[in-house]
Amino acid sequence: MSQHSPSLVNDIRAASRQLVREFGFLDKTIAGTDLSGSGVHAMMEIGLNPGITAKEISTRLKLEKSTISRLLKSLEARGEITQTRSESDGRSFGLTLTETGKATFAKIDNFGDALARRALKRINGDKAQEICDAMSAYAEALAMPQETPADYQPQFTVAEGYQTGMIGDIAGMHARTHGHIVGMGPTFESVVSNAMAEFMPRIGKPMNNSWSVLENGAVIGSITIDGEDLGNNIAHLRWFILSERLRGKGLGKVLLQKALEHSDALGFDEIHLWTLKGLEAARVLYERNGFTLAEEYVGDQWGKAVTEQKFIRIRPK
């Protein structure tokens, strides 16, 4: 079990208290609104995850069901949110922002964005990414159950090729991760599933391959190179996704590197990928590995008009 010095523990605790103060969580209202801290967090969750349920918010915010119920009623009374009965489960209600709520969400989001950017301007070089990785790891460690040993390290395996259940696992991760951008519902997940179902019988051909992060047999991260569908000696990078709890562990870099090495070894002139605007962490990773933005356009193939981006990487000479 790792032992850390009392001074290190005290420094981390002091930094945590300062973060709470700087973010304004000790004020009666925060983020430039007249909402409480829990109200701001609830608005962010609903804005980022349209259709989220009260139960899911209770779990994410670690608040009692009765507290969440009162909070949501107050937001609804203010005209910030609305509840719609779920099509798949008539007993639950999905929460979405009203036009008033969207304006409040934008104010909160802009406040947080400005706060982060102002601080990052004072941080040099690669330290910003180091801070991001460290904060992600620390937040994940805090979220572990109390009975989890302090030296616990999740055991992940990176496997090559087809994995049983990967179509459902990967399609589900895409829907949960990108649903707030493309719209919740079956359309996006169905498009991803159908495309993967077409590809998987071809995965064994030499120009194609997939690499997946496995945990107890389940795929919780993956990337694919389709060397056939675009033609003209162009590789298609597809279905690059990581479970949220894998972020900041460097596994995205590992998967992307495997895809790039495969493509370069086979002599593909270019690698093309399509992604959604707004996924900034992914864009940074792509650009660090030689991809450049080639095209941006509005598409509706996912069931909702969204801004899509095409990135291209030219094989190094």
263 has a pLDDT exceeding 90? yes
What is the average pLDDT across 182-189? Answer: 69
Reported as a single tens digit per residue, the pLDDT across 189-224 is 888 899 999 999 999 899 999 999 888 788 889 999
CA angle at residue 159 from 158 to 162, to 5 degrees?
145
What's the rounded Cα separation, in Å, for the pair 75 and 170? 34
Q: Which of 97-111, 196-210, 256-270, 294-308 has the lowest mean pLDDT?
A: 294-308
Query: What pLDDT is stored for residue 235 in this prediction?
Result: 96
- Confidence band for 1, pLDDT divided at 50, 70 and 90: very low
Extents of the domains making up the chain: 6-122, 157-314
For tokens 């690698």, name the residue. Answer: 271
Q: Which of 34-48, 83-97, 233-247 has the lowest mean pLDDT?
A: 83-97
- Beta-ladder partners of 252: none
For tokens 């507290």, name the residue. Answer: 67
For residue 137, give the nearest of 157, 152, 125 by alpha carbon: 152
Chain centroid offset of residue 312 CA = 22
Residue 205: both structure tokens together = 């051909």
Reported as a single tens digit per residue, the pLDDT across 3-45 is 677 777 777 888 888 877 777 767 766 777 888 888 888 898 8
Q: What percent of the chain clears pLDDT 70, i.e. is strictly above it?
A: 85
Residues 298 and 307 sit within 8 Å (Cβ to Cβ)? yes
Contacts of 139 (CB under 8 A, 6+ apart): none
**6-122: which CATH architecture?**
Orthogonal Bundle (1.10)
Helix runs in the chain, H state only = 6-23, 37-48, 54-61, 65-77, 99-120, 127-143, 166-182, 186-199, 251-265, 280-288
Chain centroid offset of residue 160 CA = 23
Query: What pLDDT is stored for residue 130 in this prediction?
Result: 74
For residue 19, count other CB atoms closer than 10 A to its CB.
Answer: 11
Query: What pLDDT is stored for residue 30 in this prediction?
Result: 76
- Rounded to the nearest integer, the mean pLDDT of the chain is 82
87 has a pLDDT exceeding 70? no
Residues 104 and 43 sit within 8 Å (Cβ to Cβ)? yes
Residues 228 and 263 sit within 8 Å (Cβ to Cβ)? no
pTM for the model stands at 0.52
152 has a pLDDT exceeding 50? no
Phi/psi at 313 (5° precision): -120, 125
Query: What pLDDT is stored for residue 155 in this prediction?
Result: 61
Query: What pLDDT is stored for residue 21 in this prediction?
Result: 78
CATH class, range 157-314: alpha beta
Residues 112 and 33 sit within 8 Å (Cβ to Cβ)? no
Tell the burial category of 219 from Cβ atoms under 10 Å away from its Cβ (0-12, 13-18, 19+).
Answer: buried
270 has a pLDDT exceeding 50? yes
Residues 280 and 269 sit within 8 Å (Cβ to Cβ)? no
Q: Which of 142-151, 160-169, 292-301 has the lowest mean pLDDT?
A: 142-151
